[in-house]
Amino acid sequence: MGDFDPSVPVNASAPRCRRIGVLGGTFDPVHIGHLRGALEVAESLALDELRLVPSARPPHRDTPQVSAKDRLAMVECAVAGVAPLVVDDRELQRDKPSYTIDTLESMRAEMADETQVFLLLGWDAFCGLPTWHRWEELLQHCHILVLQRPDADSEPPDALRNLLAARSVSDPLALKGPSGQIAFVWQTPLAVSATQIRQLLASGKSVRFLVPDAVLAYIEAHGLYRASN
Ligand code: ATP
């Protein structure tokens, strides 16, 4: 007993800390681009959970076309039984704008300190970060995974250059600790957007195969996004 075996990692018996991804969005409606992208990131980063977080009143964009209740119900239909994707509805519980910093603080209050949190942001959203409420505090609560398209412009705005120089690591699997670093994840997104889906529905066309069948059934049952809405 007590013999050192070099083939066994020293902390092999220590429980691995939890790894939680966070993808915010309007999800008006949720579609296969969101879901496929989220699943790929969750698998490649071995996340225990990837939370889709529908926003109530997004600070940076137009009011969603359908109610928070319907958007939430569609995301719930979409991820039912699709581990590790889950829905987190905390932003819909607040009667305030959906600031990401508030969401992260509220999530952190429920987690073990060592839990790793990964905030997923598209490149465009990342470039707009300096306009976000208390943006400089975000990395105290999470790592940031920038979802980069192979064809995208990769020049960050000046305000982010120093941050990237100080905090970015080249391998997303090398992100260490609960928060504080930035990594890029290269992804070829599916060419689908919620805007396109709303337009198709408003003109009476089908969105079959652009959204999960359960979401399509919800849209049809509730008559969402028709021209008369
Ligand atoms: P809209 O067309 O109404 O602007 P959207 O389709 O871009 O909506 P959002 O709810 O704004 O959907 O998306 C939330 C996040 O999901 C985005 O910031 C982006 O990172 C990601 N996302 C959106 N569309 C795709 C896609 N086709 N592939 C991968 N990720 C996507």
Q: What is the chain's length?
A: 229
Contact 118, 47 (CB under 8 A): yes
pTM value > 0.85: yes
pLDDT tens for residues 101-128?
Answer: 999 999 999 999 999 999 999 998 999 9
**33 Cα: distance to centroid of ligand 1 (angstroms):** 7
- CB count, 10 Å around CB of 188? 10
List, chain by chain if needed, residues with CB within 6 Å of any ligand 1 atom: 25-28, 33-34, 37, 122, 125, 147, 189-190, 192-195
Q: Omega into 54 within 30° of 0, i.e. cis?
A: no
Q: What is the CATH number of the domain that holds 185?
A: 3.40.50.620
Domain presence at residue 208: no
Band the pLDDT of 4: cuts 50, 70, 90. very low
Please identify, by atom number, the ligand 1 atom nearest to the C-alpha of residue 61.
Answer: 4
Domain extent, residue 68, equals 19-189
Mean pLDDT within 181-200: 94
Asked if the structure places residue 116 within a domain, the reply is: yes
Using CA positions, which residue lies closest to atom 9 of ligand 1?
A: 25
3-class SS of residue 57: coil
215, part of any domain: no
